[in-house]
């Protein structure tokens, strides 16, 4: 196993190592005000990054490089905007150079503590590499480390929402090019179909209290051949999709049904005035009366399930709701 990528790909491991070094030097040279430090998270931060095997025998990175930039405490919205703007040229340069998205996710210490129950934050705690500034150990000292079996029901719903939206967008991409599917469109479709299979399986494991940090361990816990194939595809993407869109859709709908049942069983779908007020404040509307007062994740998942079941397109209002509550 490599340090950053799954399997044996020493050249790609060196490329990520060199990129971390060079990105760190460039960010340090900027001397960005109110920035504590930067770490590399995501798949490469966990040693599960993917690699494309090209026809000529060479390789290239296949996943996004996800850098997390952590601000100092007590920053203003203007400070955050300044950090985002300062890091944007670095992101653009390395995105063009590596031909993958190189992103800087800017987070305040308060936001990270507030989101510490989320999969994204807990996975970051269990797999990152220091890049520049203060170390992750210093910056994340106040964040509670939780076992993977302890994620709340809302994280299963959020996982399904994100992967379901990607699945719907993939269908729109396919239909927009009609008979001839361009190579970049096919890659987008394949990636989102694969993410859907993985997300459906991950959501089931979260709802069952059986999630695990490593993808291979999740595959073993789920005991599902298609999910295991999707893990392999994630690590080594191919031109052929792990399954067709309809199969991914069926998997997503099955997972959504079980996750919603788990929500009803555990009381996660219980309505409250707090949830009703939260929705009204953030969306300036009452929304669908059938789900009024439920947690946002449940309202959105039920609405998206109707879209996926009908093989429909994403309504602008639902997309906006997803952007607000994601």
What mean pLDDT is predicted for residues 268-286?
A: 83
Percentage of residues of the chain with pLDDT beyond 70: 97
Bridge pairing between strands 65-71 and 35-40? antiparallel
The pLDDT value recorded for residue 179 is 40
pLDDT at 163 over 90: yes
Q: Average the pLDDT over 28-42 and give the result.
A: 97
pLDDT tens digit sequence for 306-326: 999 999 999 998 888 888 887
- For position 290, what pLDDT does the model report? 81
Q: What share of the chain is helix, strand, coil (3-state, %, to 5)?
A: 60, 10, 30
Instruction: Assess contact for 27 and 88: CB atoms under 8 A.
Output: no
Q: Hunting for tokens 């269990």 — which residue is that?
A: 126
CB 104 within 8 A of CB 42: no
| Lowest model confidence (mean pLDDT) among 21-25, 162-166, 171-175, 196-200 | 171-175
- H or E segment to which residue 158 belongs: helix 153-176
Quick one: which of 39, 46, 45 has its CA closest to 23?
Answer: 39
Sequence ranges of the domains in the chain: 10-146, 149-325
pLDDT band at 1 (very low <50, low <70, confident <90, very high): low
Q: What is the pLDDT of residue 91?
A: 97
Give the Cβ contact number of residue 226 at 10 Å.
17
What is the pLDDT at residue 182? Answer: 60
At a CB cut-off of 8 Å and minimum separation 6, what does 314 contact?
165, 168, 169, 172, 307
Question: What confidence category does residue 26 fall into, taking pLDDT thresholds of 50, 70 and 90?
Answer: very high
180 band by pLDDT with thresholds 50, 70 and 90? very low
pLDDT band at 113 (very low <50, low <70, confident <90, very high): very high
Question: pLDDT tens across 248-262, in order?
Answer: 999 999 999 999 999
pLDDT beyond 60 at 236: yes
């Amino acid at each position: 196993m490599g340090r950053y990528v799954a399997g044996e790909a020493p050249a790609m491991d060196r490329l990520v190592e060199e990129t971390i070094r060079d990105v760190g030097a460039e960010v340090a040279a900027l001397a960005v005000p109110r920035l504590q430090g930067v770490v590399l998270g995501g798949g490469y931060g966990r040693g599960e990054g993917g690699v494309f095997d090209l026809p000529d025998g060479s390789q290239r990175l296949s996943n996004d490089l996800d850098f997390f930039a952590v601000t100092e405490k007590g920053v203003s919205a203007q400070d955050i905007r300044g950090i985002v703007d300062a890091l944007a040229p670095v992101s653009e340069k390395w995105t063009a150079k590596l031909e993958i998205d190189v992103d800087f996710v800017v987070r305040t210490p308060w936001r990270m503590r507030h989101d510490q129950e989320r999969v994204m934050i807990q996975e970051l705690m269990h797999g990152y590499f220091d890049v520049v500034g203060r170390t992750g150990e210093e910056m994340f000292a106040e964040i509670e480390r939780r076992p993977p079996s302890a994620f709340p029901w809302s994280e299963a719903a959020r996982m399904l929402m994100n992967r379901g939206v990607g699945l719907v967008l993939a269908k729109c991409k396919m239909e927009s090019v009609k008979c001839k599917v361009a190579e970049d469109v096919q890659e987008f479709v394949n990636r989102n179909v694969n993410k859907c299979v993985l997300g459906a399986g991950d959501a089931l494991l979260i709802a069952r209290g059986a999630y695990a940090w490593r993808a291979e361990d999740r595959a073993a816990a789920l005991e599902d051949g298609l999910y295991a194939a999707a893990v392999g595809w994630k690590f080594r993407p191919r031109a052929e999709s792990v399954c067709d869109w309809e199969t991914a859709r069926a998997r997503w709908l099955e997972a959504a049904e079980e996750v919603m049942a788990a929500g009803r069983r555990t009381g996660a779908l219980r309505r409250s005035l707090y949830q009703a007020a939260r929705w009204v404040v953030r969306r300036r509307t009452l929304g669908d009366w059938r789900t009024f007062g439920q947690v946002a994740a449940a309202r959105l998942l039920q609405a998206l399930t109707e879209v996926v079941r009908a093989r429909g397109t994403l309504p602008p209002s639902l997309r906006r709701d997803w952007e607000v509550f994601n």
